[in-house]
Amino acid sequence: MKFLKVLKAFVILVISFCVTTYAQNLDEEFSQLPDSLRIKILDKDAVFSVQEARDLVNFRRSMGDTLVPKESAPDTTIIPKDSLFGTHVNPLIVGTEVLGLNAFVWAWDYWVLDKSYAHTGPSYWKRNFREGWEWDHNHWAINFYGHPYQGSMYYATARAGGYGFYGSMVFAALGSSTWEMFCETEYPAPNDLISTTVAGSMFGEVLYRLSRASYNGSKVPWYRHLLAFALEPAGYAQRRVFGNRDFYTGWTPIELTVATGIGSRFGSDYRFGGEDADELDAEWNDRHGMMAVSLEYGRPYTRVRRPFDYFTLNFFGEGGLEGDVLQMDIMGKLVNRGIHGRGHWLDFSVNLDYDTFYGDLATVSTLSLGGAMDIALWLTPNLRFRVMNQVYWIMLGSADMGYDDIIQEFHPDYKPDMDSYQYNSGVKYSLMIETLYKRWRIYNKTTIDAMKTIEGTTAEYGVSGWDFLLLNNTALEYRLFSWLDLGHRLDTYVKMAAYSSEYAEPMSRRIHAFSWYLNFHLLGS
């Protein structure tokens, strides 16, 4: 018994010594932190301010922690004292606001712009209920840029009212369906309902996140509030009228780069029925200016707790004397699971993707749902390799027919414009490979769309069949300064079509372009 007492006392002594030593070391390491943060850091239930969260992140980085931010770290979500976070604006009020927005836009179109489609009334409403929905072929930019932006207004009204991603999407569907049924002389269109609701919710969530980031904090200058309003006017007005239901995100990494440069296009090729007809696209062998904007919200390896906790937004534009190209892609994660540690990660996710290719070469859009596998490895301290595979179901796609000159031979009254496209469904595959070595970055992304015409969606004189689009971008960049890269990129655009028609034989278009550019890092590292 005496031996056991001595052993027990020895164990207690050892434990006390270890605890004391650990506390001294911990206190020494934390000495650079403010007293308030030193107390909070030991409290698992503590809520950190924005500045405290930043101080903690910088401290952990200085200690050599490569896992910033840690999944086990305290949540840096801050609920302001005046916030109504956790509550919702009455759904009847939100619904009335959505309908009121429709009424305002309709009145503007009717009384100010005198648009013919706005001269609707009971006779058109009865027809819509009696005859149902039809696919429309309004100008491509209206259907695939305008309608999603209109949907983002419906979405923002609900989102700023305290509703989540999916709940706000319901209100976007309400706004779209009532507009289609009651605010136009045209038949209600299923394509408008899908793009306004789904793509509109994607637009809305992106703008909501960026707007919230602009006023993220207790004291922000007036110009950041102006930016928040410009990004999301409906949501900002909702917060002002019915109170703020947002939270401050604390440390939210945002990477923003803008690239600008010049280059030349070459290898223009137009083939119809297996015959070379280069002269039809000779104008594409010209000089061009380019601009690209890339935004990454969040980190690719962090846990997605809410839809679009991680998203990417990319714009790319080429403008030459004879032709223009505009690309836009939004990808947001809905859910994900993975492993992350010491700069490596393996991430599986379910994503929404909205991709558009707009210009003289081709006009294509894809609204897609699918999955991705993202792998990154630090092979050496100076060498990182990353590869990401994405596979999607294209729930709604569109593609221009590309047979305008041929159709005119058979139908002289045919007038080609941006209404000459049909709707498709199909699959999308994307492969991205990135290598980082010291100051060098090598990047390649290949995207392939394979789409089949949805029956009954062809435009006047349209034909149905398969459309294929291949986009490839290869880039080499060298980091001159922490804020500036010098880069060179090679782009390839290929559009192919195979339609079932007596005159629409297989067709293809191909263009290459190279560009030299400067890439400016405006936010992030």
Q: DSSP H helical segments within 86-146, as ranges?
A: 91-107, 122-131, 140-141
pLDDT (0 to 100) of residue 75: 43
**CATH placement of domain 256-523:** 2.40.230
**What are the C-alpha distances in Å from 121 to residues 147, 175, 197, 367, 465?**
22, 18, 24, 32, 38
Name the pTM for this structure: 0.83
pLDDT (0 to 100) of residue 69: 41
Instruction: DSSP letter for 73, please.
Output: S
Rounded-to-integer distance, Cα 24 and Cα 42, Å: 14
End-to-end Cα, the chain, rounded Å: 64
Mean pLDDT of 81-106: 89
For residue range 217-248, what is the model confidence (pLDDT) as tens digits? 667 888 988 999 999 999 999 988 988 887 65
What backbone phi and psi angles, to 5 degrees, belong to 510?
Answer: -145, 135
Split at pLDDT 50, 70, 90, the class of 40 is low
Distance of CA 131 to the CA centre of its chain: 36
Tokens of 521: 């890092």
Q: Percent of the chain having pLDDT more than 70?
A: 79
Domain ranges of the chain: 1-29, 33-76, 91-242, 256-523
pLDDT (0 to 100) of residue 55: 65
C-beta separation of 306 from 165 below 8 A:
yes
